């Protein structure tokens, strides 16, 4: 195994160990889904609660590994894809740990999501031209200058958004956290960020005096 993959692998391994140790301590039926008010709205088996989310995250990580190794254009995006796999591993570990320690799962999930966004933001600025990685609008493919400017800008905004979300999820009282931080604030923040970044990428392309496509025919 590549030593750079070790942190993510340890997270996934740890999630399995914690889930196995926690399994006998949980009741037969536990909450597995929460509504917009953060109240449980579906219950399932303890196996589903402990093992299914980490397995989903593991499947996503395997897909990202396959993209890095089988998409020629993405071999240079190893740092970004490794960071994404690490983030997925951390999310996989968070689920059984939260259940083991009886944390507020909805709050923990928002904190984890914020940290994941911040982690991705820290590496997104290095994204090389790709059909899978980075901010992908029609205009970033028409100009190399627009591609790199857009990825650097997206990195800053994603890091900021993730940091704000994690801090709000950790500090806000529950009556403010739900529904005002999530879903209202989160949807507005994501929608506004994506809209602004898409428009800014268009401006990057328009202002490039000699746009050069990122992919040559």
- Select from 181, 157, 185 the least CA-distant residue to 169: 181
Strands (E), the chain: 29-34, 40-45
pLDDT digits (tens, 9 = 90+) for 80-89: 999 999 999 9
**Per-domain boundaries in the chain:** 3-207
Decide: 149 and 204 in contact? Cβ < 8 Å: yes
pLDDT digits (tens, 9 = 90+) for 14-52: 999 999 999 999 999 999 998 877 788 999 999 999 999
Decide: 105 and 34 in contact? Cβ < 8 Å: yes
pTM of the model as a whole: 0.94
pLDDT digits (tens, 9 = 90+) for 120-161: 999 999 999 999 999 999 999 999 999 999 999 999 999 999
């Amino acid at each position: 195994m590549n030593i750079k993959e070790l942190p993510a692998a340890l997270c996934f391994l740890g999630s399995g160990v914690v889930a196995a140790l926690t399994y006998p301590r949980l009741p037969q039926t536990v909450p597995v889904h929460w509504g917009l008010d953060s109240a449980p709205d579906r219950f399932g088996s303890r196996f589903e609660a402990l093992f299914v989310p980490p397995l989903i995250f593991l499947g996503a990580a395997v897909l990202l590994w396959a993209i890095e190794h089988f998409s020629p254009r993405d071999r240079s995006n190893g740092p970004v894809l490794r960071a994404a796999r690490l983030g997925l591993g951390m999310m996989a570990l968070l689920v059984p740990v939260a259940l083991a320690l009886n944390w507020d799962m909805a709050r923990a999930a928002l904190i984890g999501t914020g940290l994941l966004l911040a982690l991705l933001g820290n590496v997104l600025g290095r994204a090389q031209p790709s059909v899978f990685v980075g901010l992908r609008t029609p205009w970033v493919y028409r100009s190399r200058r627009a591609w790199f400017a857009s990825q650097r800008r997206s990195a800053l905004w994603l890091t900021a958004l993730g940091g704000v979300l994690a801090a709000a999820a950790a500090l806000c009282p529950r009556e403010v956290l739900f529904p005002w931080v999530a879903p209202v604030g989160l949807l507005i923040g994501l929608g506004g960020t994506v809209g602004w970044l898409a428009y800014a990428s268009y401006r990057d392309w328009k202002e490039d005096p000699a746009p050069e496509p990122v992919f040559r025919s």
